[in-house]
């Protein structure tokens, strides 16, 4: 992906509207969860009105996760303070599954209004937290007097996950390799 999506959108409406986009993200294995926050700026000068709906569409990883999300209905037509909306809502999350170890996803955000001239759009990438593997080479662990295979072990060296080649354990003050 060559560039990231915009965070500030200037709609070509009359009067012009500005929307600021931010997001929260968390990861669980190969699934990533997003929550979007949109702040709509005030009308300037405050004598102006905007009696139209204001909407947003969001497409993540090729799937439209939000279609026609309402930022503002046609009424009220005036506001004096910026207002904030969350998608899917303040405590909810959109899930994007099976992305493997990708640390960016393709994303398109489009703001529009029922005033036909009012749109703003950005296509680019959105970041995802790093994928942390929980796998490695097989080692044995003694559990209740019985040797069992433990999970594999990977170590992160200089930001890159590498499979451990040899495991050392201190036994009675002596380091022993697997």
**CA separation for the pair 48, 45 (Å, rounded):** 6
More confident: 110 or 4: 110
Q: Give 144's contacts (C-beta < 8 A, 6+ positions apart).
A: none
Residue 119 tokens read as 């749109």
Residue 10 tokens read as 């200037």
pLDDT tier for residue 150 given thresholds of 50, 70 and 90: low
**CA separation for the pair 6, 61 (Å, rounded):** 16
DSSP-based three-state secondary structure for 80? coil
- Quick: pLDDT tens for 78-131: 998 999 999 999 999 999 998 888 889 999 999 999 887 778 889 999 988 877
Q: Output the CA–CA distances (angstroms, integers) from residue 101 to 27, 64, 123, 132, 162, in the order listed.
A: 10, 21, 21, 8, 14
Q: If we measure between CA atoms, which residue out of 100, 136, 110 comes closest to residue 6?
A: 110
Residue 139 tokens read as 């080692």
Whole-model pTM: value is 0.71
pLDDT in the model for residue 136? 36
| Helix, strand and coil percent figures for the chain, each rounded to 5 | 0, 55, 45
**CA separation for the pair 88, 122 (Å, rounded):** 19
Domain 8-127 = CATH 2.60.40? yes
- Quick: pLDDT tens for 18-27: 999 999 998 8
Phi then psi for residue 20, to 5 deg, are -105, 130
Pairing of the two strands 104-113 and 119-127: antiparallel
Averaged pLDDT of the chain:
81
Q: Give the residue extent of every domain in the chain.
A: 8-127, 140-177
């Amino acid at each position: 992906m060559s560039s990231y999506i915009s965070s500030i959108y200037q709609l070509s409406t009359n009067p012009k509207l500005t929307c600021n986009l931010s997001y929260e993200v968390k990861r669980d294995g190969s699934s990533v969860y997003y929550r979007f926050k949109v702040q709509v700026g005030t009308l300037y000068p405050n004598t102006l009105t905007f009696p139209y709906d204001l909407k947003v569409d969001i497409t993540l990883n090729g799937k439209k996760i939000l279609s026609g999300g309402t930022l503002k209905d046609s009424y009220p037509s005036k506001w004096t303070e910026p207002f904030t909306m969350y998608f899917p809502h303040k405590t909810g999350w959109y899930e994007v599954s099976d992305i493997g170890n990708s640390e960016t996803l393709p994303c398109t955000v489009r703001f529009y209004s029922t005033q036909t001239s009012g749109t703003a759009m950005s296509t680019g990438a959105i970041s995802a937290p790093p994928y942390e593997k929980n796998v490695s080479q097989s080692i044995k662990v003694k559990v209740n007097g019985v040797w069992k295979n433990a999970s594999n072990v990977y170590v992160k060296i200089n930001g890159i996950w590498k499979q451990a080649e040899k495991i050392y354990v201190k036994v009675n003050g002596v380091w022993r390799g697997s």
